[in-house]
Amino acid sequence: MQLKRNLSNLGLLSTALCSMIGSGWLFGSMIAAKLAGPAAIVSWIIGGIMIAVISLTFAELSAMLPVAGGVVRYIHFSHGTFTSFCISWLTWLSCVAVAPTEVGATLHYTANFYPSLLEGSGSYQVLSITGIGVAAAMLLAITALNIMAVKKLDYIITKIGSWKVIVPIITAVAIMLVNFKTANFSSHSFAPTGLHGVLMTVASIVIFSFLGFVEAMSLAGEAKNPQKAVPIAIFGSVAISIVLYTLLQIAFIGSIQEQMLLSGWQNLGFGGDLGPFAGIASTLGMSYLAYLIYADAVISPVGTGIAFTSTTARINYAMSMNKYTPAAMLKLNKSGIPLNAIIFNFIVGLLLLLPFPAWEELIKFQTAAIVLAYGTGPVALMALRSQAPDKSRPFILPMHRTMCCLSLFITNLILLWTGWQSIWRLMTGLILGIILLVVYKKSQNKSDDEMHLQSGWWVLPQCIGISIISYLSDFQGIGIIPFGYDFIAVAIFSYLILQLAYKIKLPQNKAQILLP
């Protein structure tokens, strides 16, 4: 049995949007403003442009190879097992945490009305026994929805996706019409933390909000017309999100009361846990808007959980197709859904609900892990241009060598900006994954040649190099490389890595064997 192509163009776009617009929009504008002041608007634009450039490489790949779990399979076709597993492992580890995290976010909002859902005090509050029970039931419901036929899931995701776009737009426009102070953009400095603050905002908040565009590629194998649907979903979701988040940031900056800025943007805060936009709406007497935001605080995270549950299962499926994990993950039900993968992720999600602070630390490297996966787009595209020159390419990236260099440079810059604390956690997770790969392959009596070490080892200098630059930089590092010079270091490093990866790619005959 194979995956069924029942997902519409709109359904795929809605999946990407559901992945990109979660609970983050409720808090993102305030956190960005605290980091960069009004210049946070620039952060959203810079981040959006960066993601748009990266997405161009994936647009060609996904239109040429519309396979399930594409983000972890393209690099498998071009460089084989070792590189692909490293990326697959980190991508899965970060994505599988999204559904339980979003369910937890929903219950943290709901706890304002039902305090028994949480226990603890101050900033350290975790789910109580009651909260864990409710969260488990919510995860089970999300899992059940994902076991349904793709057509039904398509309908649900499309409706939720529409809601998740409309509510933030209504919020931004309504607030600007009622209360908008242009003086807020300059009264306490437009960029109080300078360019450094703008770039830290890009890495810590902005990129996280744009991560979901790759989820469209995970479902490419189930799209009715993937050659059109996937590029539409990628470009459409990025474009809509840029406009949406920029609009929200402008509305937020203009709506702040003067007295709240007396201590500067970095000390800005709102009481309660339902978010700054709900607080602004209540202060302005817009109770209807506050209740709408309260409803969205429940619906948006659940919608993101549904989308990521669906796409994470396809990552499991792709990893099994690549023979990194047992073939049981390829099992499909009568509706063509990867049943075992969804159930396995549900069990992992239950473990992530447990109130262990270590899990919270584990989830912090999510952004860095997905961004590292972004770097495989330009690497795979460069290689496959020579490995599969005759493959049909409905979308062809112009000046692909230049664009691939630029894309990998942007990816490594974002990794640098996430800071050393995220990078070392990422590398710890990677080492654990490599150990698991070696143990599994040895248990299957696989040779080193079958692991494609000769074509895949470029990922090690990539990870070691960006770790060294990060540690030496002033992005949570020791500051030996001054701000500005780190751009030059990353540019040179990215060019060398791209050339190395291209040089040691799989021979054409071996790549042709792996290609569908």
- Residue 461: the pLDDT is 94
DSSP per-residue codes, 226-291? HHHHHHHHHHHHHHHHHHHHHHHHHHHHHH--GGGGTT-GGG---SSSS-HHHHHHHHTT-HHHHH
Residue 359's pLDDT band, with cuts at 50, 70 and 90, is very low
The more confident residue out of 35 and 437 is 35
Interhelix angle 459-472/400-418, nearest 10 degrees: 50
Sequence ranges of the domains in the chain: 67-150+167-189+242-390+398-514
Find the radius of gyration of the CA atoms of the chain. Answer: 22
Residue 94's pLDDT band, with cuts at 50, 70 and 90, is confident
**Mean pLDDT along residues 67-89:** 85
Quote the tokens at residue 505: 């790619």
Quote the tokens at residue 150: 């793709």
The share of the chain scoring above pLDDT 70, in percent, equals 89
Q: List, in sequence order, every residue forming a beta bridge with 120; answer none if it has no partner.
A: 125
pLDDT digits (tens, 9 = 90+) for 326-343: 888 888 888 778 889 999
Where b means 16+ CB within 10 Å and e means fewer, 285-318 reads ebeebbebbbebbbebbbbbbbbbbbbbbbbbbb
pLDDT digits (tens, 9 = 90+) for 290-303: 888 888 888 888 88
Residue 357's pLDDT band, with cuts at 50, 70 and 90, is very low
Mean pLDDT of the chain: 83
- Residue 444: the pLDDT is 65
Q: How many CA atoms lie within 13 A of 311 on its CB side?
A: 39
Q: Using an 8 Å Cβ cutoff, are 192 and 266 in contact?
A: yes
Q: Using an 8 Å Cβ cutoff, are 371 and 203 in contact?
A: no
Residue 502's pLDDT band, with cuts at 50, 70 and 90, is very high
Distance of alpha carbon 406 from alpha carbon 61, whole angstroms: 17
Kind and range of the H or E run holding 159:
helix 150-178
What kind of architecture, by CATH, is found in domain 67-150+167-189+242-390+398-514? Up-down Bundle (1.20)
DSSP, res 390:
T
- Residue 109: the pLDDT is 72
